[in-house]
Amino acid sequence: MTDWAAPTDKTLIEYRVEDGIAILELSDPPANTYTYNMMLQLDEAIRTARMDNNVHVIVLRGKGDKFFSAGANISMLNEVTPRFKYFFCLHANETLNRLEHTPKLVIGALNGHTVGGGLEIAMACDLRVACKDGGKIGLPEVNLGVLPGTGGTQRFARIVGKSKAIEMMAAGTLFTFEQAMEAGLVNQVLPKETFWNDVMAYARKFVPPTKAAKAVGHIKRAVCSGLEVPFESGLAIERELQQQLFQSEDAKEGLAAYVEKRAPAFKGA
């Protein structure tokens, strides 16, 4: 029997930086299912991107062109104890929360099937772009006698609404990326032939000098934190983040460029 808690030398999250964009790739073909070790490596990659001042946007994708991720590794779940499953889910929650609370824009590039825990990972991203005819998407855990246990019930309801979320999760059906876009789960569906180039072009829209990346990150933080607290507390969070931005070099540049009637050249500072 596999010791699923034992460390591995296998690279399960590939990490690279291009043009201010950190690319995190779920890498366990064919279906990029995740284990405790993959979540450990994802957690490390998130922290690396968070601390790198040269990274302004994070893009998360699956290895290959068939799967973003099919979710948790079923063989692992079938072998481990209930106690292991609990701590595995707890760590996965903590990892995805870290991704969601990182003050840098995170784009999920859904290059293939995005189901179960794969969709739960994608929902922790701020924006989701999908490959046309690239696969199916959904939360079918009910068909295994369980619920979406890595934040699925909570994030899904916040994205598509309570009633729709209950219906879709209780039915456990899969749907197309176009249907996901209609439901508000996916922001854009991009052509298959140029998908990755289009993803990177989309990500560059949020990177200096085009955008003030710190402002983008603070918008994310204001929304993510503000929606979880009373309205007045959300306004307080917004004011504090705005005050931080007022002291930034990019705010000075943006205001000066407006007055001087020129395009701003942001530096992410």
Which residues are annotated as catalytic?
120, 141
Task: Tell me the C-alpha distance between 159 and 177, whole Å.
Answer: 15
The most distant pair of C-alpha atoms in the chain lies apart, rounded to whole Å, by 68
DSSP state of 142: G
Is the bond preceding 7 in cis, omega lying within 30 degrees of 0?
A: no
SS3 of residue 210 by DSSP: coil
Helix, strand or coil, per DSSP, at residue 6? coil
- Cβ pair 122, 128 in contact under 8 A: yes
Q: Give yes or no for a contact between 40 and 75, defined as CB atoms under 8 angstroms apart.
A: no
Distances (CA, A) of 35 to 53, 98, 123, 151, 268: 29, 17, 18, 16, 35
Helix (H, G, I), strand (E, B) or coil at 85: helix
| CA gap 61, 178 in Å, rounded | 18
